[in-house]
Amino acid sequence: MNRSTLAAYLDRIGVSRPQLIDAASLRALHQAHQRAVPFENLSIHLGEPISLAAGDLLDKIVTRRRGGFCYELNGAFALLLEALGARVTRVAARTAGRDGRLGPPFDHLALIVSTTDGTGPWLADVGFGSHSTFPLLLDRRAGQDDPGGRFLLADTAEGDVVVSKDAAVQYQIERRSRALADFSPTCWWQQTSPDSHFTGATICSRLTGEGRISVSGETLIRTSGGVRTEQRLHGAAEVLAVYRNHFGIILDRVPGRSVS
């Protein structure tokens, strides 16, 4: 990542360049990224192919000021952290369904980050929707309180790490280092298969100072202080205005709708 792209990325998330990547700066970057860059699957419903090439990720998130799902968000965040001097390991995870069963390998991308102050390693994840506001200590086995909930990490007999939030399993990560290209087949499946939950409906969501704001289909959802409210949106103009005003995403049509 060159200097101008790095500066633009930091401007995108509203953070000044830190002197070094220590625990405090990693926490600040992790929170700021989730507040500025939404978790969204709109490309799938706009017919835009998703590329995991570094240049394409940075173009979409930094230049075009869009969001993405896990492969894109954590893929780009890893590039930012590495440009700032952190050591980042990309790891595969299997997400837990509502029935508690784990999905396939490479279902999710997470990051293990080593900072310059010797703390950590940290589990960083800005691409899982409603998750931890701040990175989690990968090797801590006691509960970790976060504005997003109470997190607990536990080891499996095979050496993987199970991540739970408020006693519900979120995903299971392996510690083996992966290249971003390793996630390309599953990324393609996620954006094309009728069995993928990303192809069924649109979602756009980001962290706020009070909780979260999301658009699911044509419903605006706000969560503040643990209280959830929903507002039905009426017509394309109102939906597009919400994308523009709350997420900075300027579209010429509603995702999922054909051009009239």
Domains of the chain: 3-181 (3.30.2140.20)
Q: Which of 30, 125, 131, 204 is catalytic?
A: 125
For residues 43 and 147, what is the distance between their CA atoms, to the nearest angstrom? 29
DSSP codes, 118-170: S---EEE-SSSSS--SS-EETT--S-EEETTEEEEEEE-TTS-EEEEETTEEE
What are 57-111's pLDDT values in tens digits? 999 999 999 999 999 999 999 999 999 999 999 999 999 988 888 988 999 999 9
Q: Which residues neighbour 230 within 8 Å (Cβ) at sequence distance 6 or greater?
A: 219, 220, 221
What string of pLDDT tens digits covers the 260 residues of the chain?
A: 999 999 999 999 999 999 999 999 999 999 999 999 999 999 999 999 999 999 999 999 999 999 999 999 999 999 999 999 999 999 999 999 888 889 889 999 999 999 989 898 999 999 998 899 999 999 999 999 999 999 999 999 999 999 999 999 999 999 999 999 999 999 999 999 999 989 989 999 999 999 999 999 999 999 998 899 999 999 999 999 999 999 999 999 999 865 43
109 contacts 93 by C-beta, under 8 angstroms: yes
Q: Note the pLDDT of residue 259.
A: 44
- For the four alpha carbons of 154, 156, 161 and 166, in that order, the dihedral sign comes to negative
Q: Note the pLDDT of residue 260.
A: 39
In the block, which residue shows the tokens 């039905």?
232
Q: Which of 30, 45, 108, 131 is catalytic?
A: 108
Buried b (16+ CB within 10 A) or exposed e, 39-51: bbbbbbbeeeebb
Between the CA atoms of 181, 185, 186 and 190, what dihedral angle is there, to the nearest 10 degrees?
120
Q: Which residues neighbour 133 within 8 Å (Cβ) at sequence distance 6 or greater?
A: 30, 31, 34, 146, 147, 148, 207
Residue 70 annotated among the catalytic residues of the structure:
yes
- The structure tokens listed for 208 are 């706020």
Question: In whole angstroms, how large is the CA radius of gyration of the chain?
Answer: 18
In the block, which residue shows the tokens 């492969």?
71
Q: Note the pLDDT of residue 199.
A: 92
Q: Note the pLDDT of residue 211.
A: 93
What are 106-132's pLDDT values in tens digits? 999 999 999 989 898 999 999 998 899
Buried b (16+ CB within 10 A) or exposed e, 16-32: eebeebbbebbeebbbb
Cis peptide before 185 (omega within 30 of 0): no
Cβ atoms within 10 A of the Cβ of 251, count? 14
Q: Which of 33, 70, 160, 204 is catalytic?
A: 70
23 contacts 86 by C-beta, under 8 angstroms: no
